[in-house]
Each structure stands twice: as structure tokens, then as C-alpha cells.
């Protein structure tokens, strides 16, 4: 098997055609505790990262929004509030369990008829060209096998002038922060995952997948290669997380 046939799953090399299944098993395992673990892992700061993402989106009433890897719907709900009754919001996720948790959560909060739910692969989006004003993907791109193909697909479904937003763990800009972050990720996260979700291995994978994700400048270049312009990024929490944005010309 050649390097072209394999990809990384955390620090392991696996056949490309099997990565989606491995990632699916991780998220099926953690779906029911996903929101609780997000709050614990980030000490609640993930809410501020997502709020900044919404503010940067410039979403207005009547817009069409696609939230890829939308999971339990944190961004989806806020997009729905902003687009209003005349807008369109689609929560897409490749994982059926995550999609069900998100649908149940949003239905319980009164969003039932305002959001569409689609099980979809970011590398092959089942949507027409030039359809959405905003496409977002939060903490999902690092799990995609072919990131370049996914970026091309996200660009394809954007309207001209539409914006892609990628919120993702990235590379800390301070060496001391980086060292502390490594210690936390590979020690505390698996322990937390074991105690709260009954699954330390899935959270070990999540820590590894963050380290294997492209750094800020590399991802910016990949977005430009996909055809986006005005590509930039904002580091948050000393670069632990970065929000990338780009516009379809």
C-alpha cells in the first residue's frame, strides 16, 4: 500500500477508504456526551469562539446557511435566529448519531420546523452550485479525509460573494502555551473522556487529530487553492483555535 492510498487517523496511518468509518465510530461513541465534554474541555470558552464566528459571518435575515459537521447545533441555532423566518438553515453531519442528537436538541428548543437536517459527506455535498450565502464548519475539517476536495465542495455551493468560515483547533503561537496545551491534551483529555464519556481512546484521537491538522498559514493557502479570495484568519486563545474566512469571487 502506497502513501497515496493511506491517510492519518490521529497518529496512525489507515487506508483512505477506512478513515470515515474510524471517525464515525469516534463520534458515535461520544455523541450523547458531546456538549458536556465541550464545556469541560474548553472550560466554556468554546461558546466565545462560536459567538465570534457568528459575528464574523455577517449573516442577515433571509440568508441561506449551511452548517457542515454541525453536530449538536450550537452554530445552527444562532444562524437560525439571525436569518429569521425567510431564511434557510441546513445542519449537515456525516454521522447519524450526532445528527440525531442535534435534531432532538434543537427540536426541544423550539427550532423544529426552521432547520433542515441532512446526513452528508463534506467531500460530496448534496447541494446545488451557488446556493448558500454562508458555509460554516466548526471543529470538523480536521476529521475529513480529503480536505482539499471538501474545500472545493464548500466553495462550489457558495453563492458568488458568499463566505466560508472554518473554526478549528490550530497551532499555538506561544511555545509555553504550546507545551502546556500538549500536556493538557494528552493527559487530561483522555482522563476526562474516560470519566465523563466512558471513552478515553476517542479523546486521545481528538488530541492527535488536532496535532495533524494544517497550521494557520497552510490552511489559508489551501482555501486560496480551492478558489476563495480575501482569505484570512483570526487566532483565538493564543492560537489554540483559529477562525479562517474566505469569500467566493
- Binding site residue list for S-adenosyl-L-methionine: 72, 93, 121-122
Return the closest-CA partner of residue 76 out of 101, 42, 97, 96: 101
Q: Alpha-carbon distance 82 to 93, whole Å?
A: 21
Evaluated on CA atoms 60, 47, 37, 112, the torsion sign reads: negative
For 170, list phi and psi in degrees, rounded to 5: -140, -150
Concatenating the DSSP letter of every residue in 212-249 gives HS--HHHHHHHHHHTT-EEEEEEEEGGGTEEEEEEE--
How many angstroms separate the most distant Cα atoms in the chain? 52
Annotated binding site: 72, 93, 121-122
Amino acid at each position: 500500500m502506497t502513501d497515496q492510498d493511506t491517510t492519518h487517523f490521529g497518529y496512525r496511518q489507515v487506508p483512505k477508504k477506512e478513515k470515515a468509518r474510524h471517525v464515525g465510530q469516534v463520534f458515535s461513541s461520544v455523541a450523547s456526551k458531546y456538549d458536556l465534554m465541550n464545556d469541560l474541555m474548553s472550560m466554556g470558552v468554546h461558546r466565545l469562539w462560536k459567538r465570534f464566528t457568528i459575528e464574523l459571518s455577517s449573516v442577515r435575515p433571509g440568508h441561506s446557511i449551511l452548517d457542515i459537521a454541525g453536530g449538536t447545533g450550537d452554530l445552527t441555532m444562532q444562524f437560525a435566529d439571525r436569518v429569521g423566518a425567510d431564511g434557510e438553515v441546513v445542519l449537515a453531519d456525516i454521522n447519524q448519531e450526532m445528527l440525531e442528537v442535534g435534531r432532538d436538541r434543537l427540536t426541544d428548543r423550539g427550532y423544529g420546523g426552521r432547520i433542515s437536517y441532512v446526513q452528508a459527506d463534506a467531500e460530496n455535498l448534496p447541494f446545488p452550485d451557488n446556493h448558500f450565502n454562508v458555509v460554516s464548519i466548526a471543529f470538523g475539517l480536521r476529521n475529513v479525509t480529503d480536505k482539499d476536495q471538501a474545500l472545493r465542495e464548500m466553495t462550489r455551493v457558495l453563492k458568488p460573494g458568499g463566505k466560508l468560515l472554518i473554526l478549528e483547533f490550530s497551532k499555538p503561537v506561544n511555545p509555553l502555551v504550546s507545551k502546556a496545551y500538549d500536556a493538557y491534551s494528552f493527559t487530561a483529555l483522555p482522563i476526562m473522556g474516560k470519566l465523563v464519556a466512558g471513552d478515553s481512546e476517542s479523546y486521545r484521537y481528538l488530541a492527535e487529530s488536532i496535532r495533524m491538522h494544517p497550521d494557520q498559514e497552510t490552511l489559508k493557502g489551501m482555501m486560496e487553492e480551492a478558489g476563495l479570495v480575501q482569505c484570512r484568519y483570526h487566532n483565538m486563545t493564543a492560537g489554540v483555535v483559529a477562525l479562517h474566512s474566505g469569500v467566493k469571487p
